A and B are shown apart, each in its own frame.
Chain A
Amino acid sequence: MGGGGIWAKYVNDFKARVIADGGTMESPSCAKSDVKFLVQNPEPVAFTGLLNDYSGAAAAYSLRLLDNTYTGNAIKVRRASDNAEQDIAFSNNELDTATLETFASGTDAFVTTWYDQSGNGNDATQTTAVTQPKIVSSGSTILENGKAAIEFDVDWLTTSYPLPSVFSAFNVVKTDFANSFETIIGSELTFNDWIWHLFRPSSFRLRPKDSAYYSGATLNAQKYLINSIYNGDLNAYIDGNSYISQSSVALPSPSGNLQIGTTQSNVSYSLNGILQEIIFYNSDQSSNRTGIETNINDFYSIY
């Protein structure tokens, strides 16, 4: 069928719909132009991010766009060749890896800032070169299951996000359990003033204070979606399944800011693995938990 035949069919179909709706169509040639325009210029499907659907995050770090009103960058990186730094934005709602790799120009690049997309300005930074996590290796973006990932190798980032007393935290993380203790999120100031999220081979732990901790079944060296919710009771979920459930957990008054990949800047407790997304709420998100998990899993294909 030629092009004219296709448009004639579209117009006839359109005319049939107009008549079925009780209207009239006096000018088929005019309708043809209008129908052709509409077909060739469809209204784009509006992007909706996780934070559009589940608002109110206190801090949100990701290598995908989480909010369609966020106009900032994803990360700032330092390239190894000359230590120049550059912001990297999003392209098609994901990290602009083309610009990133052009900037890296065949060398490594390291994350100096992971920007907070929540609108609260709680950016995560690392000012020390040797403890900046890597995002580009020999010119190629580090990928995990086809998605950009930040590689931590005794590296960490410190946020300006004050530790909350009630929270919900969602992490997309992978470790190979190379170190004895591997922190996902911890406290900037002390070992004992907040609930750590850490791996202790071969399980995940939540550690509220002193030597007390809660853990669950053995894990594998693979990517997981881990989230915890603390509202007086403490619950953790891995890949949508309950992993830790503990009632009436006392939590010392939190102080200082949150760190990603370590606690108290301690190399002995630093993450050796990858992170792709961390989102915090200063609230109990139990009612939204499955929806947030689904959103994350739909994008990262974790389980």
Chain B
Amino acid sequence: MAYYTSTTKADLEAYNTLVTTGEGYNGTTTNWATIVEHPNGLDFAILKHDSYTAELTEEETLGAEWFPQNEIE
């Protein structure tokens, strides 16, 4: 699953809106994906929809550093 990344969260929110509108979700479903915030607080990412492209940086996957695991064991 590819992701779009950006340091501007609004860009990814706009992409989410683009997909949500284009897909015509209705009923319980209200959006495409949740924006992931990097623990550094500076970078953001959203899952890319195969049918929608944007002028954003594309990453094949997000590294483990994006998803810190709080439990030690």
Residues of A within 8 A of B27 (CB): 76, 78, 84-85, 112
In the bound complex, CA of A268 to CA of B36 (Å): 12
Using known A-B contacts A128-B33, A130-B33, A130-B47, determine if residue A83 contacts B69 with beta carbons closer than 8 Å. Answer: no
Contact A211 B72 (CB under 8 A): yes
Q: Are B28 and A113 in contact (CB under 8 A)?
A: yes
| B32 and A128 form a contact (CB under 8 A) | yes
Cα–Cα distance between A269 and B23 once the two chains are bound (Å):
28
Interface size of B as a range? 20 to 34
Which residue of B has the minimal Cβ distance to A270? B67
**Contact between B69 and A180, CB atoms less than 8 A apart:** yes
Identify the closest chain B residue to A265 (Cβ): B34
In the complex the two chains form, is A181's CB within 8 Å of B29's CB?
Answer: no
* A126→B72 CA distance, assembly (Å): 29
Within 8 A of B (CB), among A117-132: 125-132
* 28 cross-chain CB contacts under 8 A: A76-B27, A78-B28, A78-B29, A83-B24, A83-B25, A83-B29, A84-B27, A85-B29, A112-B28, A113-B28, A126-B28, A127-B30, A128-B31, A129-B23, A129-B25, A129-B29, A130-B32, A130-B33, A130-B47, A132-B29, A191-B70, A191-B71, A200-B71, A266-B67, A267-B36, A267-B67, A268-B68, A268-B69
Cβ of A15: which chain B residues have Cβ within 8 Å of it? none
Query: In A29-66, which residues have CB < 8 Å from any B CB?
Result: none
Q: How many chain A residues touch the partner (CB < 8 A)?
A: 28
B69→A129 contact, CB < 8 A: no
The answer to whether A127 touches B73 (Cβ under 8 A) is no
**Does residue A213 face the partner (Cβ distance < 8 Å to B)?**
yes
A213 nearest CB neighbor, chain B only: B73
Count of A-B contacts judged by CB separation below 8 Å: 68
Point out residues on B near A: beta carbons under 8 Å.
23-34, 36, 47, 67-73
Tell me the nearest residue of chain B to A191, going by C-beta: B70
CA of A268 to CA of B71, assembled, Å: 11
> Which residue on chain B has the smallest CB distance to residue A82?
B24
B73 to chain A, nearest CB (A): 7
Contact A112 B73 (CB under 8 A): no
Contacts of A83 in B (CB 8 A): 23-26, 29
A207 on the interface (CB 8 Å rule)? yes
A79 to chain B, nearest CB (A): 11
Distance of A200 from chain B, by nearest CB (Å): 7
Q: A76-B27, A83-B26, A113-B28 are in contact. Are A129 and B72 (CB under 8 A)?
A: no
